[in-house]
Structure 1
């Protein structure tokens, strides 16, 4: 088989693998969403317990933690970018809050 054909064949295999992976992730998200909606739409549930949902829905807690970590990085970036716009007084308040946490 010519080298070009091998490269094309490998590329097609990679695309198929990526497609299957995306479909697998989509199926997993659909399953988790269905479990959550089923729980919150249950008329017998008077108070929604987030920890129960996270514990009882396979993979949801891991997904949630990953989502929060991505969101954290975005928030950190937004905060860093906005620091230059704050007054000295606002910066001092933030500094005090950080010191209080340490």
Structure 2
């Protein structure tokens, strides 16, 4: 019998080794407070995230804004929970 990790037993394999620096990008309409919302969600899941490292980029026409936050991920569960919270927020259109 092979030694399977919990993720393999559940049918999931991860190619990421934790802990690692993990970039997550959220995109939404370029409105007041969007970047702050993204940063606050990231900080809830990664309290040591340095807000000064957040990168913001407007779309070509300036209607949308992407916010990239690179944080120290310690587990797949942490990344999944962060992704779920961001995707469920009404201001967020896409998360990569």
From the CA coordinates, give the structure whose radius of gyration is larger: 1
Scaled by the length of structure 1, the TM-score of the pair is 0.22
TM-score normalised by structure 2 residue count: 0.22
Structure with greater strand share of residues: 2
Structure ranking higher on relative contact order (CA contacts 8 Å, 6+ apart): 2
Larger helix proportion, structure 1 or 2? 1
